Structure 1
Amino acid sequence: MDSKPQLTIWGRANSVNVQKVLWCLAELDLPYHRIDAGMQFGKNDQADYLAMNPNGRVPTLVDGDYVLWESNSVMRYLCMAYGQGSPIYPQAPKARAAVDRWLDWTLSTLQPVDRPVFWGLVRTPPEKRDMVQIQQAADAAGAAWRVVDEQLASRRFIEGDQFTIADIALGAFARRWLGVEGIIKPKRPNLERWFGEIAPRPAFVRFIAPPMS
C-alpha cells in the first residue's frame, strides 16, 4: 500500500458525485489535492480536461499517470488501491457484489429521478419553477426511496452492520432528497433513522452537510 499517494480530484465541491469521492477519501484517510472544475468554474470544457475525461463531467481522478472518471468507479479504485482491509468495501465476493449493486442502482434508478427534483428546487429560481412537474418527479423519487427504506427495515446500514461505500453513494443523494422543501414526500422512517446515523460522521459533516447549491 502506498502511504502517500499523489491524488488529484478535479471537480467542484457542490457536485453530488464529487462529494461521494471526497467522502470516500476521508473515510480512507487519504491525502489529495482538489481543483475546482465544472459549472461556474469551467475547465471541464477545455481540451486538456476533455483529454482526461471525454464526457466533460466531474469528478476526474488523477493518480500519478493514471486517470479515472465515474465517481462510483473512483470510489472502488480508491478502496482497492489504497484501502485494502478497509471494511467500507468488503473483500468477500458476495458482500462486495451486494455493495456494488447499490452503486449501480444509484446511477440506473435513483439519480435519474433525483436530478429533476434537485435542479427544480435548488438550482432554479422560484419564479421559474414548474411545481407540477417537480412534484411529479418527486413522486418518482419517493417511490425509489421506498426501496431503500425497505432495505433498511432490518439493517443498521445498507448492507448490514458495517458502513460501506454503498452508504456513501446513497447518503449523498439522501442529503439532497431529505434536504429539499416545497414538495410532498412520503414518510420513510427507516431511511430517516439511517440518515440520522450517518449524518454525524465527520466526512458527511464536512462534505455533504453544507448548504446545497
Structure 2
Amino acid sequence: MLLELRQLQAGYGPSRVLHGLDLRLRAGETLVVVGRNGVGKTTLVETIMGLTDHHGGEILLDGAPVHGLAPHRRNRAGIAWVPQQREVFPSLTVEDNLRVVARPGEWTLARVYGLFPRLAERHRHHGDQLSGGEQQMLALGRALMTNPRVLLLDEPVEGLAPIVVEEMLAAIDRMRATGGMGIVLVEQKYELALAHSERCIVIDHGAVVHTGPSAALLADPALIERHLGLAH
C-alpha cells in the first residue's frame, strides 16, 4: 500500500478535528475526499503533510511511518502538497519556480510544459504576473517537479473559470494515466471530482463515514443526499 492512515487523530493545538480516521491509497489511484464544509477535509491533507498537531494513530508511506517527520522531510520522502492558496513564488519566473524545487525523476521541465503548454508560453513571466488559473497550473507543476509518490490536491479548481477547470481536470486525468503516483483530491465540486477518480471517501465530523468506488457514489443520489446533504 502506497499511503495508509490508521486511526489518525489530529487537529490544531489541543483541538482535535480528525477522530480515528482510516485511509488507504494505492499507487496509480486517485482518491477523492468529499464532505460538507468544515468536516476536516483540508485538515486531513494538512495532517498528511505534517502541518497539524498529531494526537494519535499512524501515517505510513510504503509501509514506513512518517507521522513523526517534519513537513520538509515528508516532502523528501515523496509527499507533495498543492494548497488552496497556491503559494507560488511571486518574484521568480515560471521556469525558476519550477527549477528551484526540481528533483530527479520522470517529471522534468519538458514534461510539465507538455502537461501545461500555457506555462511554457509564459516561462519568463513572474509568478505575480500570472492569472489565477495559471498560478494554479504553476503550483501543480511545481509539486510535480519534486517527483512525488503521493500528490495532495486541496480544491485545485476552486474559483477557476470553466475552461481552466477543464484544463486542470484533463491534466489530473493525464497524471492518473502514468500509473505510478497516488493522488488525494479534496474537492467541493463533488460531481467533477468523482468523475475523475477511481475511489472516494466521505468525511463527517473528522471520521470516514463512507468509502467505495467513485462511480457508485456518483450514481446514487440518495447516498449523496445522506452523506453530503446535497440533492443530485
Question: Is the shorter-chain TM-score for this pair beyond 0.5, marking a shared fold?
Answer: no
Higher relative contact order, structure no. (Cα contacts within 8 Å, ≥ 6 residues apart): 2
TM-score bracket for the superposition, by shorter chain length: 0.3 to 0.5
Greater per-residue helix proportion: 1
